[in-house]
Amino acid sequence: MQTSLSKAILAGGCFWCTEAVFLNIRGVQKVTPGYIGGRRPNPTYEQICTGHTGHAEAIEIVFDPAVISFEMLLNIFFATHDPTTLNRQGNDIGTQYRSSIFYVDEEQKKAAETYLAQLKTMEIFDAPVVTQLEQATIFYEAESYHHNYYNRNPEQGYCSFVISPKVSKLRKYFDDWLKS
């Protein structure tokens, strides 16, 4: 019996990082890097890098909710990026690197609101969580050279020094969720 797939859209800084993390997760069928939340139709990477289009670098995750829940995706998301820095992840600075959950329906909106409230109550992080909750708008797929970037360029400096630690953290804390 075929289950229906769901979609989640998350922005946690550079989409090379978030894509590298979620490609490894059981129940995730597809991860697409792209741009969302801005004003310019069909933006290019060069345009969104200026910070003037309003788009965030994000990933669209197609997942099987019979295998992994939206809430578990959020657990992984918050464990593998810094949700306490406004419009920044490490040396990547600008609104295009914001931490945001782009909900695709009311169920996701409520789940994300509950999750964010729990994070605030539990005080897990040393600073307040600044992750935004935004309604999904048009998701524009990134140029092909951005797809599977980490796996195609493991020796590149950014991949070695920024992405690899996130993937290592994923393996350490979510080993039971990794694809075999």
Give dist(CA 122, CA 137) in Å, integer: 30
SS3 62: strand
**Residues near 83 by Cβ (< 8 Å), separated by ≥ 6?**
12, 99, 119, 125, 129, 130, 131
State yes or no: is 14 an active-site residue. Answer: yes
Point out which residues pair with 20 in neighbouring strands: none
In degrees rounded to 5, what are phi and psi of residue 9? -125, 120
SS3 133: strand
What proportions of the chain, in percent to the nearest 5, are helix, strand and coil? Answer: 40, 25, 40
Q: Are 25 and 178 in contact (CB under 8 A)?
A: yes
Q: Are 127 and 83 in contact (CB under 8 A)?
A: no
Residues carrying an active site annotation:
14
